[in-house]
Amino acid sequence: MKKVFLAAGMAAAVALGAGSAEAADAARGKQLMQQKCFTCHYFEPGGPGKVKKTGPYLFGVYGRTIGTWDSFKYSPGYVALGQKGMTWTDANIGEYIADPKPFIQKNTGDPKARSNMSFRLKVPNENAEQAAQRKTDTDDIIAFLKTLK
Ligand code: HEC
């Protein structure tokens, strides 16, 4: 009997998830960022202090102009995008973390533009299931980034 109830509950949960756009989960986004981003990015409040990371400080990055955290020497493409007035919106963050280099190249119009962020969320030859998982992960990461202000 217990098993049947469990199965019914799960079916209901799946149906709910499929019906409405599931709310992004900032707590899960934090876990993902601790796993995937923290090696290179510090993002706790109060500034990085003496913490040295290869990437810029991400606290406050949501809505910030691209390539403008004072204490970081960005690749020229990032600076150029900031000078064009581009900011870190939902769409820009999502496309960027999927694969940084093409994002920088497309938006600068420079096919040789570089990025020193050697990380991407999108696996090569991504299948539909992986794409759906990446969308969830991206939404959760962005939900967490929005809390860092
Ligand atoms: C292997 C190191 C590394 C990892 C892992 C990494 N990053 Fe980065 N990230 C960088 C570097 C380096 C830059 C600056 C690139 C440049 O100037 O060429 C950067 C830049 C950024 C920027 C632009 C910030 C700004 O001030 O304009 C964002 C946003 C960002 N990373 C988000 C993330 C997120 C979210 C994750 C995890 C999902 C992540 N990064 C994982 C190294 C990394």
Reported as a single tens digit per residue, the pLDDT across 32-73 is 999 999 999 999 999 999 999 999 999 999 999 999 999 999
Tell me the pLDDT band of 25, cut-offs 50, 70 and 90.
very high
Does the 24-147 domain belong in CATH 1.10.760.10?
A: yes
pTM of the model: 0.88
Domain ranges of the chain: 24-147
Q: How many CB atoms lie within 10 A of CB 24?
A: 17
State if residue 34 touches ligand 1 by the CB under 6 angstroms criterion: no
**What sign for the dihedral angle of Cα 110, 112, 114, 119?**
positive
Ligand 1 pocket test, pick from 119, 122, 136, 137 with the greatest ligand atom count within 8 Å of Cβ, gives 119
Q: How many CB atoms lie within 10 A of CB 49?
A: 8
pLDDT of 16 above 60: no
